[in-house]
Amino acid sequence: MIEPLVLAWAHPGTVSGRFMDSVMRLVLASQAAVAQGVRQDYVIAGYNYVEGGPRIASARNRLVRDFLGAERHKGVEWLLMLDADMVFDESLLPALFETVRDEHGTLVNPIVGGLCIGGGHASAFPTMYRIVDPATNGGEPVRVITDFTLGDVVPVDATGAACLLVHRSVYEAMAGAFPEPVPWFAESVYLGREFGEDWTFCLRAGRLGFPIVVNTKAQVGHMKSMMMTVDTWRAGGATAPPVTPVKTALAPVIPINRQQRRHPEMTRR
């Protein structure tokens, strides 16, 4: 089964050469496979981008709205949302698509994230989260999933939207369940904590019964003033979550607000 997808990204006015090199790797690899008659599970059916500025939630909603409504995207099943400070190679799409359907072709994972690393110089952690009882987690309602074997497909309660593959049916269901102008992405508050637009998306999707997984084979670099990869996290930082030998281990989420997320030098040490 061939899965058509649209590549989409928001940007602050410009994008880096490394990001565009990554996008071109996906496009050229797909074109080469078609030219050589190599079977692939997906086809890149188009792309879209918007200038987001500081209002990332608005930019993401515009990308989804265009994906659902534009005639040129009619019949395209998947939207792959990428952030313009991410770096990846041509292995990304095969990894993301390898577990979306079962052996019968039934859609089983309509939301698949890549393995992205968040934080900054003072911290580095996988953007894979689980909602927990704050009483068991130092007052924090969220834990970071910190231990897994690379290549695992990890069920999560939430992940970031920096590399997020979502089936059309998810966006359509959310459009019917949550009101405009922000049926998909919006900043929100949960158990007294502020959360970004990607968290709200995941919580809403989960409320509607859609599973969310991260395929850790789909590794994505995150450009700050340094490249943040899985190796950055594994090497550890001043406040990096510890790695333990238990595959289900969780670590408390590092408490940073949205301003600190945009300016990692402000992160508490």
Residue 56 belongs to a domain: yes
CA 239 to chain CA centroid, Å, is 22
Residue 137 belongs to a domain: no
- Which CATH number do you get for residue 13? 3.90.550.60
Q: pTM, whole model, 2 decimals?
A: 0.83
Q: List Cβ neighbours of 130 (8 Å cut-off, separation of 6 or more).
A: 142, 143, 145, 156, 157, 250
SS3 6: strand
Residue 212 belongs to a domain: yes
Q: Calculate the alpha carbon distances from 121 to 84, 171, 191, 223, 237 in Å.
A: 19, 34, 28, 11, 7
CA 93 to chain CA centroid, Å, is 13
Residue 146 belongs to a domain: no
pLDDT over 90 (residue 64) = yes
Residue in the structure block whose two tokens are 């508050």: 189
The 10 Å CB-count burial string (b at 16+, else e) for 67-85 is bbeeeebeebbbbbbbbbb
The range of the structural domain enclosing residue 41 comes to 3-119+155-227
138 vs 113: which has the higher pLDDT: 113
Residue 239 belongs to a domain: no
232 vs 84: which has the higher pLDDT: 84
Closest alpha carbon to 57 in 200, 195, 185: 185
Report the C-alpha gap between 259 and 256 in whole angstroms. 8
What's the token pair of residue 71?
């005639």
Quote the strand ranges of the chain, DSSP E.
3-11, 42-51, 78-83, 86-87, 111-115, 117-120, 123-126, 128-131, 142-145, 153-155, 158-159, 163-167, 188-190, 193-195, 213-219, 221-223, 227-228, 250-252
Residue 248 belongs to a domain: no
Q: Report the domain count for the chain.
A: 1
What's the token pair of residue 202?
């995941």
Lowest average pLDDT, out of 58-67, 85-94, 182-191, goes to: 182-191
Closest alpha carbon to 158 in 105, 199, 217, 109: 199
Closest alpha carbon to 55 in 262, 256, 267, 266: 262
Residue 250 belongs to a domain: no
DSSP 59-124: HHHHHHHHHHH-GGGTT--EEEEEETTEE--TTHHHHHHTTSB-TTS-B--SEEEEE-EEEETTEE
SS3 256: coil
Q: Which helix (H) or strand (E) holds 205?
A: helix 197-207
Q: What is the pLDDT of residues 184-214, one digit of tens each?
A: 999 888 777 788 899 999 999 999 999 999 9
**Which range has highest mean pLDDT (34-48, 77-91, 133-147, 184-198)?**
77-91
Residue 9 belongs to a domain: yes
Q: What is the pLDDT of residues 163-184, one digit of tens each?
A: 999 999 999 999 999 988 889 9
116 pLDDT tier (thresholds 50, 70, 90): very high
163 bridge partner residues? 82
pLDDT at site 268: 35
128 bridge partner residues? 159
